[in-house]
Amino acid sequence: MTNNEAVFTKDLQNKKLNVVRTFDAPLNLVWQAWTESEILDQWWAPKPYRAETKTMDFREGGYWLYQMVGPEHTEHPTWCKEEFKTIVVRQKIANAVSFCDENAVTNTDFPVMNWEKNFTGEGEHTTVNIDIYFDKVEDMQTIVGMGFQEGFTAGLSNLDHYLSTAFRIRKDLKPNNTARVTTYLNFNGKTEEAFKFYKEVFKGEFTGKKLTRFGDIELPAEVQISEADKKLIIHAELTIMGGHVLMATDAPESMGFKLQTGNNMHINVEPESREETERLFNELSAGGKVSMPLSDMFFGAYFAELTDQYGINWMLNYQNV
């Protein structure tokens, strides 16, 4: 485990703030967390605030427009814009950051900040080195006086929690990127009972993480479950005849699920790349019904659920380990 404290340095002569933070996660996972709005919304804002993306166009010349929303969804949220100037994939992002309105019109009452984020990965550790430049020392002092260091430190801690949880679960559930197809089952609280039954019938073996309970993993702060539900199975893996793998999770009504015959079984496809996952999603969903769009989930997967035009249920589950 590395020392993951954020280090802030003020350089008054060059009108610059420097922030360095190391994360216990590989470069590709950290890069995704800084460039995909679905993940940014999960960690960018210091609690109890949250970020809500309105527009994300991650390319040179594009911008990210988001609002900072309080716990009671204030009527006048703070809008911010990041304009992307330079992007070197998995290495560098240079962008201009400003306060604005919901239409991305810059608020000239506040300073514009020019950020340069550099990403360096080494194995399972990634360091993000950020230089933030200002036009005037007074501008830097204004931003610091608004609580920037405290807020950004809290946001980086949120990211550390997201990354450590996602990376750990990814490593536990799948040790490599080899493509595979499994059968995924959902039960209303009876996964453990059913899988012990299947194990006996097929003379199978529990593999992977075997029977993992909700209480065994660190869930996101916003996910609140009862003590009884913590004993339920979040992931089961059983290898049966011919090397085929059955997987399952408990999906009880107490967690908002409505299971019935037809939605309790999926073909689970684990592609070798994010791009292949997107291709399969686009083609399988054509003429069908998407129940969960492709998104990065807290358990570390780029994930989707859909029913194709023939009524067959599919799960796409890319684990970028």
The domain spanning residue 184 has which CATH number?
3.10.180.10
Residue-wise pLDDT for 120-131, tens only, equals: 998 889 999 999
Q: Is residue 109 in a domain?
A: yes
Q: Is residue 23 in a domain?
A: yes
Give the residue, 178 or 240, on which the prediction is more confident.
240
Q: Could you give the dihedral angle defined by the CA atoms of residues 311, 259, 235 and 185, in that order, rounded to the nearest 10 degrees?
A: -40
Q: Which of 92, 89, 95, 86 is nearest to 117 (CA)?
A: 92
Same domain, residue pair 145 and 88: yes
Question: How many C-beta atoms surround the C-beta of residue 198 within 10 A?
Answer: 16
Same domain, residue pair 159 and 235: no
Lowest average pLDDT, out of 61-65, 72-76, 111-115, 315-319, goes to: 72-76
Domains identified in the chain, total number: 2
Res. 58: pLDDT tops 90: yes
Res. 85: pLDDT tops 90: yes
Coil, helix or strand for 6?
coil
Q: Which domain holds residue 284?
A: 175-319
Same domain, residue pair 72 and 136: yes
Q: Give the CATH number of the domain where residue 82 resides.
A: 3.30.530.20
CA distance 68 to 63: 16
Last residue of a domain, one of 172, 204, 238: 172
Last residue of a domain, one of 172, 200, 230: 172
Same domain, residue pair 81 and 152: yes
pLDDT attached to residue 140: 94
* C-alpha radius of gyration, the chain, whole number: 22
pLDDT attached to residue 207: 86
- What is residue 74's DSSP assignment? -
Residue-wise pLDDT for 160-176, tens only, equals: 888 877 665 555 555 55
Q: Residue range 30-34: average pLDDT?
A: 92
Q: Is residue 54 in a domain?
A: yes
Q: Is residue 285 in a domain?
A: yes
Same domain, residue pair 155 and 12: yes
Q: Residue range 23-34: average pLDDT?
A: 89
Q: Is residue 2 in a domain?
A: no
Same domain, residue pair 235 and 162: no
- What is residue 110's DSSP assignment? S
pLDDT attached to residue 1: 44
Q: Is residue 1 in a domain?
A: no
Lowest average pLDDT, out of 141-145, 173-177, 224-228, 311-315, goes to: 173-177
pLDDT attached to residue 206: 92
Residue-wise pLDDT for 269-320, tens only, equals: 888 888 999 999 999 999 999 988 998 876 678 889 999 998 889 989 887 6
Same domain, residue pair 106 and 203: no
pLDDT attached to residue 311: 85
Q: Is residue 279 in a domain?
A: yes
